[in-house]
């Protein structure tokens, strides 16, 4: 019987965007714990540096902070090149940076619509393009885009978020098709609600927009359709991100995995 190889991220070079906080930081923590070299790429330089210091102290892998606004072509290309030069290539990209802005469509400011699409879609495209070039040179890699249950479902008040998260599914499938010849895989993670600063901010905003209490927002809007009224955790998503990063073949590409306590079922 052939033995399957043990999956590991030891010494793999990984870039996680938006990793100074929330889900991204959880993924970076999981990767460093498995021995990876992780660039914490975030618009907030101080928070990125402090997360990198904290993770390097934990080991056994190491982390560095890289300042990067994922909507800036120049900052993405420069930041990715810096990481590739330091560690000799890029093996894993997690395009995770994101924000949330909620309004009813009729009042959605156009500037906010454009800001949302820029962070979620331009950011995924630019970081993918920059990392893809390095991965192609060094024999392949794994690209992971942070989708959401909102890559498959809609909710009121979230027009640009739902639009962008659906769009990432298309981008990932194109990367999977173009990347196959170069051993570059692409997959999307689709979390349900995870208690991070992004979600904490939405609770009072949605309560105001919908005219209901904050408790109702949590119990009805956020967790109402789960099988057990539980939030998904940062650690749950970090584990899925580890699996997509470490999985070694094109058997797992062009896929999306929903981790949402059954809120959305395929
Ligand atoms: P968070 O607010 O905790 O962290 C987001 C990070 O992204 C921050 O460190 C922030 O500084 C950084 N960031 C913001 N704009 C940036 C930019 N232009 N360039 C680089 N970095 C930038 O949010 P989170 O909840 O951890 O969300 C991370 C990702 O997970 C997002 O894409 C979000 O849409 C997705 N997601 C979150 C949930 C959830 O319930 N929290 C559910 C599904 C999907």
Residue 103 is encoded by which pair of tokens? 């309004």
| CA pair distance 32, 74, nearest whole angstrom | 27
Cβ < 6 A, ligand 1 pocket: 17-18, 20-24, 42-44, 68-71, 96-99, 119, 146, 148, 191, 193-194, 196-199
Residue 21 domain-assigned (yes or no): yes
Residue 128 domain-assigned (yes or no): yes
Backbone angles phi, psi at 186, to 5 degrees: -145, 130
Residue 23 — pLDDT band, cuts 50, 70, 90?
very high
pTM: 0.97
23 C-alpha to ligand 1 centroid (Å): 7
Cis status of the peptide bond prior to 60, with omega within 30 of 0:
yes
Residue 221 domain-assigned (yes or no): no
Residue 94 domain-assigned (yes or no): yes
Instruction: Give the mean pLDDT of the chain.
Output: 96
> Which residue shows structure tokens 């689709």?
190
Q: Tens digit of pLDDT for each residue in 226-265? A: 999 999 999 999 999 999 999 999 999 999 999 999 999 9
Predicted pLDDT of residue 209: 86
Q: Tens digit of pLDDT for each residue in 133-152? A: 999 999 999 999 999 999 99
Residue 117 — pLDDT band, cuts 50, 70, 90?
very high
41 C-alpha to ligand 1 centroid (Å): 12
Residue 120 domain-assigned (yes or no): yes
98 C-alpha to ligand 1 centroid (Å): 4
Instruction: Name the residue range of residue 66's domain.
Output: 13-192+232-259
∠ CA 77-79-85, rounded to 5°: 100
| CA pair distance 246, 53, nearest whole angstrom | 24
pLDDT at residue 70 is higher than 90: yes
Residue 243 domain-assigned (yes or no): yes
Closest C-alpha to ligand 1, atom 17 = 69
SS3 at position 44? coil
Residue 225 domain-assigned (yes or no): no
pLDDT at residue 204 is higher than 60: yes
Residue 199 domain-assigned (yes or no): no
CATH number of the domain that residue 126 is part of: 3.40.50.720
| CA pair distance 248, 246, nearest whole angstrom | 6
Residue 1 — pLDDT band, cuts 50, 70, 90?
low
Tell me how many domains the chain contains. Answer: 1
């Amino acid at each position: 019987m052939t033995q399957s190889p043990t999956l590991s991220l030891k010494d793999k070079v990984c870039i996680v965007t938006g990793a100074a906080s929330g889900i991204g930081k959880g993924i970076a923590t999981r990767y460093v714990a498995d021995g990876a070299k992780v660039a914490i790429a975030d618009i907030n330089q101080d928070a990125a540096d402090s997360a990198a210091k904290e993770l390097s102290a934990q080991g056994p892998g190491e982390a560095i902070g890289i300042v990067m606004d994922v909507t800036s072509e120049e900052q993405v290309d420069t930041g990715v090149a810096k990481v590739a030069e330091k560690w000799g290539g890029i093996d894993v990209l997690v395009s995770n940076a994101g924000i949330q802005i909620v309004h009813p469509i009729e009042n959605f400011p156009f500037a906010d619509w454009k800001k949302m699409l820029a962070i979620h879609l331009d950011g995924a495209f630019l970081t993918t393009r920059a990392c893809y070039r390095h991965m192609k040179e060094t024999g392949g890699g794994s690209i992971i885009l942070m989708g959401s249950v909102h890559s498959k479902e809609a909710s009121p008040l979230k027009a640009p978020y739902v639009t962008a998260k659906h769009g990432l599914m298309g981008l990932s499938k194109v990367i999977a098709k173009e990347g196959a010849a170069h051993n570059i895989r692409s997959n999307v993670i689709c979390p349900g609600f995870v208690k991070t600063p992004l979600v904490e901010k939405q609770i009072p905003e949605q309560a105001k927009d919908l005219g209901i209490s904050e408790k109702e927002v949590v119990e009805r809007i956020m967790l109402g359709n789960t099988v057990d009224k539980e939030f998904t955790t940062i650690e749950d998503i970090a584990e899925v991100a580890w699996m997509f990063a470490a999985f070694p073949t094109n058997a797992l590409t062009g896929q999306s995995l929903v981790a949402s306590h059954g809120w959305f079922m395929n």
